[in-house]
Amino acid sequence: MKIYLTRHGQTDWNKQHLMQGRSDLPLNETGRLQAGEIRRKLEGISFDAVYASCLKRAVTTASLISGYPEEEVRRDARINEVDFGACEGKRYGQMGLPATLYWMFPELFPAPFGMEDVASMRKRSASFLQDLMKGKEESVLVVCHGGIIRPLRGYLEGKKSGLVWRPRPKNCEVFVYETEKEAARLVADLR
């Protein structure tokens, strides 16, 4: 199986550097253009299945990249963005020291202010990928978010921490993994 794992296109909150977790904002024009650019880069690839989080920015990106109508995109809450709690909608620099430390070093500091913790992110991303990899599809597009993509990548790459925290994924950056049984390897990073 080939898994095309990507972050959604840009939203206005991304452009303004605001913490955007569960807020359901649409793509802006730049985000729509980014998805179109990735569609051109992946021209000729036919997806057997297309998954996205339940948030409209991911569903729209999945539809624009794959050509699937939004109604045919399989939504899965396990790949929704991280819950940023009281930091939702704040600028990165306004989160306060506890949240900044947690977001920089999530394995060392506790999740403050109602933020989702790393254990929860790892558990739901592993559950999603385990179910996905049981399928018979050969080529799958998965569109999610900048926070949850980190434990998804950590699981696929077999990281001891369960995370690939740095570098931060860009909007519509695509990580291509080839899987065989329960193992996966990164074969491409498309920006």
Structural domains in the chain (count): 1
17 is catalytic: no
Task: Look up the pTM and report it.
Answer: 0.95
Report if residue 160 sits inside a domain: yes
Answer yes or no: is 104 within a domain: no
Domain that holds residue 159: 2-83+117-190
Judge residue 114's burial from the number of C-beta atoms within 10 Å of its C-beta, 0-12 exposed, 13-18 middle, 19 or more buried: exposed
The per-residue pLDDT for range 93-111, each reduced to its tens digit, is: 888 899 889 888 888 899 9
Regions of the chain where pLDDT drops below 50: none
List, in sequence order, every residue forming a beta bridge with 185; answer none if it has no partner. 178
Read off the CATH number of the domain in which 12 is found. 3.40.50.1240
Q: How many other CB atoms are there within 10 angstroms of residue 160's CB atom?
A: 7
**Quick check: is 145 catalytic?**
no
Closest CA to 179 of 144, 110, 132, 146: 132
Judging by DSSP bridges, how do beta strands 74-75 and 174-180 pair with one another?
Answer: unpaired
Options 81, 88, 116, 173, the catalytic residue? 81
Longest dimension (CA), the chain: 47
Catalytic residue among 8, 88, 116, 173, which? 8
